[in-house]
């Protein structure tokens, strides 16, 4: 059994995530890491309850606790790297308000690596916790690190601006940092959904286009230079340009990848398996190289390849600041880029980032079949695509990079009973042709497996 997914432990309250689980995670982290543990939470209605249980577990196994209160996940990662031996964040990030979760961090601010998560699971499932003697039980101290963190970001970005910025905090933890950071930079800030409320009354917490499309109209109405939206714990960032156009995730990554590679005169950029070819194109033109890693593991790619920049959709890592996802550094550097270029964001994108056409769709698939479906689909697509294939990546499924810079990805969802099908191509006709092939292939395999199971069930009932 696995507790950890692609981004920590996450699930529905009382079904997967409970105070008892939080207590055990606290005991396991203290047993595994020891020393001082920084703890924080997002604004969900269940976060105080879960944090209290977590802290009890940490104390029971001998750790002291630095309680940082309600802050964004990037702030917790930064504070852990400076003040503690480990960090734990109570958050379900962009999930609905019925969910919550737990993320664990190392003393350098990196999220736990896969092997560390497995070791924590082993401690939890075996019950092999350290039990502190009465005189070994840890202590709790509290600290508000928001001002110190904002100062650190300001020092790193090193830029003042007079841009007009529309900010949407999703009623999440980013609301206690972002408006203050932007105003300290000199920006004129228009804020929406920027009071913390665990019911997320303003919008769904995930900053997908369909959840934040209204920002496009609002940007134009306010004559703002850009809009910035975050999710529930503020590790994710989404952007609209001054014309109200949504800046898709790959374009934002490509902008920063190009910037870093040009600054370094080369270097390695690490991105997740589901990112697009425009990143490869701009990085290779600038003299760099792209490596892809599983979702949730950009920090592992930094360590493995010595990357100068790492990202997955909506989540950007700036290693010179720290090896964690940090949307606040991203927003500061994006504003700096717009000012230094002296052009609107839409022009910067048009002049620097090539256009590709992407489509994503899910195929419903019972969890028990996901592994078999992906393997069968991979074999079928490899045969169908044949000589068009330039490279096959088998990280988190199958990704086929084709000679014309098109690509096809089939991977199992880490959180839902679904298979993700993603296709991108340099033109819409090619995209549609490849998507029809991939989606039809996956759907047929799922259908056949479900029918086969139903037949076996019927035969067993008849015998």
The token duo for 392 is: 């096959």
The answer to whether 198 and 48 have CB atoms below 8 angstroms apart is no
Mean pLDDT, range 368-381, rounded to an integer: 96
The token duo for 302 is: 């930094």
Distance between CA atoms of 296 and 284, rounded to whole angstroms?
24
Distance of CA 143 to the CA centre of its chain: 26
Mean pLDDT, range 118-123, rounded to an integer: 97
Distance between CA atoms of 39 and 46, rounded to whole angstroms?
15
Please state the φ and ψ torsions of residue 438, each to the nearest 5 degrees.
Answer: -70, -45
Given this model, what pLDDT does residue 164 score? Answer: 99
The token duo for 423 is: 């296709």
Nearest to 300 by CA among 274, 266, 325, 327: 325
Percentage of the chain lying above the pLDDT 70 cut: 99
Confidence band, pLDDT 50/70/90 cuts, at residue 11: very high
93 labelled catalytic: yes
Mean pLDDT, range 47-56, rounded to an integer: 98
Residue 126: burial class (beta carbons within 10 Å; 0-12, 13-18, 19+)? exposed
DSSP character for 17? B
Domains in the chain, ordered, with CATH? Answer: 9-144 (3.40.120.10), 147-245 (3.40.120.10), 249-324 (3.40.120.10), 357-462 (3.30.310.50)
The pTM (predicted TM-score) of the whole model is 0.93
Identify each DSSP E strand in 273-377 by its residue range. Answer: 288-293, 309-312, 315-317, 357-364
pLDDT tens, position by position, 425-439: 999 999 999 999 999
Mean pLDDT, range 7-22, rounded to an integer: 94
Given this model, what pLDDT does residue 267 score? Answer: 97
Given this model, what pLDDT does residue 185 score? Answer: 99
Query: Is residue 258's pLDDT more than 70?
Result: yes
CA atoms within 13 A on the CB side of 155: 8
pLDDT tens, position by position, 299-323: 889 999 999 999 999 999 999 999 9
Catalytic residue among 93, 277, 327, 396: 93
Across the chain, mean pLDDT equals 96
Given this model, what pLDDT does residue 463 score? Answer: 66
Nearest to 359 by CA among 298, 438, 270: 438
Q: Measured on CA atoms in the order 174, 176, 177, 181, is the torsion positive or negative?
A: positive
Query: Is residue 457's pLDDT more than 80?
Result: no
> Please, which residues bridge with residue 27 across strands?
none
Query: Is residue 57's pLDDT more than 70?
Result: yes
Percentage of the chain lying above the pLDDT 90 cut: 92
Please state the φ and ψ torsions of residue 337, each to the nearest 5 degrees.
Answer: -60, -45
Distance between CA atoms of 165 and 433, rounded to whole angstroms?
40
């Amino acid at each position: 059994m696995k507790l950890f997914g692609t981004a920590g432990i996450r699930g529905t309250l009382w079904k997967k995530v409970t105070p008892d689980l939080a207590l055990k995670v606290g005991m396991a982290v203290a047993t595994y890491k020891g020393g001082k543990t920084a703890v924080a939470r997002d604004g969900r209605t269940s976060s105080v309850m879960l944090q209290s249980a977590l802290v009890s577990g940490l104390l029971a196994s001998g750790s002291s606790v630095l309680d940082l209160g309600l802050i964004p996940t990037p702030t917790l990662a930064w504070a852990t790297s400076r003040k503690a031996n480990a960090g734990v964040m109570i958050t379900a990030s962009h999930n609905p308000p019925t969910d919550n979760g737990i993320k664990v961090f190392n003393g350098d601010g990196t999220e736990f690596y896969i092997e560390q998560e497995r070791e924590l699971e082993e401690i939890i499932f075996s019950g092999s916790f350290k039990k502190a003697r009465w005189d070994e039980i840890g202590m709790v101290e509290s600290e508000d690190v928001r001002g110190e963190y904002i100062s650190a970001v300001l020092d790193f970005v090193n830029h003042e601006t007079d841009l007009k910025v529309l900010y949407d905090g999703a009623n999440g933890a980013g609301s206690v940092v972002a408006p203050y950071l932007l105003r300290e930079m000199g920006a004129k800030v228009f804020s929406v959904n920027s009071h913390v409320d665990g019911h997320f009354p303003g919008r769904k917490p995930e900053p997908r286009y369909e959840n934040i499309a209204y920002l496009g109209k609002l940007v134009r109405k306010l004559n703002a230079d850009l809009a910035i939206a975050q999710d529930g714990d503020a590790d994710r960032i989404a952007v609209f340009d001054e014309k109200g156009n949504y800046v898709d995730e790959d374009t934002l990554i490509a902008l920063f990848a190009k910037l870093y590679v040009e600054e370094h005169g080369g270097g390695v950029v690490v991105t997740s398996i589901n990112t697009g070819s425009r990143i490869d194109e701009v990085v290779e033109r600038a003299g760099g190289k792209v490596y892809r890693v599983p979702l949730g593991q950009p920090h592992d790619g930094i360590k493995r390849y010595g990357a100068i920049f790492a990202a997955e959709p909506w989540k950007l890592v700036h290693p010179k600041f720290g090896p964690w996802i940090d949307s606040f550094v991203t927003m500061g550097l994006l504003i700096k880029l717009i000012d230094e270029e002296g052009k609107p964001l839409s022009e910067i994108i048009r002049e620097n980032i090539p256009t590709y056409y992407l489509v994503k769709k899910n195929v419903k698939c019972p969890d028990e079949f996901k592994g078999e479906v992906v393997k069968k689909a991979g074999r079928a697509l490899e045969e169908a695509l044949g000589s068009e294939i330039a490279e096959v990546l088998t990280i988190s499924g199958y990704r086929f990079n084709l000679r014309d810079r098109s690509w096809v990805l089939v991977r199992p969802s880490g959180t839902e009973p679904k298979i993700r099908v993603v296709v991108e191509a340099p033109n819409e006709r090619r995209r549609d042709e490849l998507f029809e092939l991939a989606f039809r292939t996956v759907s047929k395999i799922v259908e056949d497996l479900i029918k086969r199971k139903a037949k076996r069930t019927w035969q067993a009932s008849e015998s």
